[in-house]
C-alpha cells in the first residue's frame, strides 16, 4: 500500500503550477509586446488558466509584474 498525498498537498502543487504558468506567460508575452498591450485575458489564455484563476492568484497584471521584478 502506498500513501496518497493529502488533498491540500495536491491543491497546493496545482496552485503553484498555475501561478508559475501565469508568471511564465507574462515573461513570454513581454518578449513579444509591451506591458501596456497585455491584458488579463491574453495572459490567462497563454498560461492556460481561466481569468478567474488569474484573479485567484493575482489582483492585476501589475501584481504579476511585481513578482517578476522582485
| Alpha helices (runs of H) in 1-70, residue ranges in sequence order | 7-32, 40-47, 51-57, 61-69
The pLDDT of residue 14: 77
The pLDDT of residue 29: 98
Q: Any idea which residue has 497546493 for its cell?
A: 12
Q: What is the pLDDT of residues 5-62, one digit of tens each?
A: 555 555 557 778 999 999 999 999 999 999 999 999 999 999 999 999 999 999 999 9
The pLDDT of residue 48: 97
Report all structural domains of the chain as residue ranges with CATH numbers, in order of start: 8-69 (1.10.10.60)
Considering the entire predicted model, what is its pTM?
Answer: 0.80
Give the DSSP letter of residue 6. Answer: P
The pLDDT of residue 15: 79
Structural contact between residues 29 and 43, judged by C-beta atoms closer than 8 angstroms:
yes
The pLDDT of residue 21: 97
Amino acid at each position: 500500500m502506498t500513501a496518497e498525498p493529502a488533498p491540500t498537498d495536491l491543491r497546493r502543487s496545482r496552485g503553484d503550477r498555475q501561478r508559475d504558468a501565469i508568471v511564465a506567460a507574462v515573461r513570454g508575452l513581454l518578449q513579444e509586446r509591451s506591458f501596456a498591450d497585455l491584458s488579463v485575458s491574453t495572459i490567462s489564455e497563454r498560461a492556460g488558466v481561466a481569468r478567474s484563476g488569474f484573479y485567484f492568484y493575482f489582483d492585476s497584471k501589475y501584481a504579476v509584474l511585481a513578482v517578476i521584478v522582485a
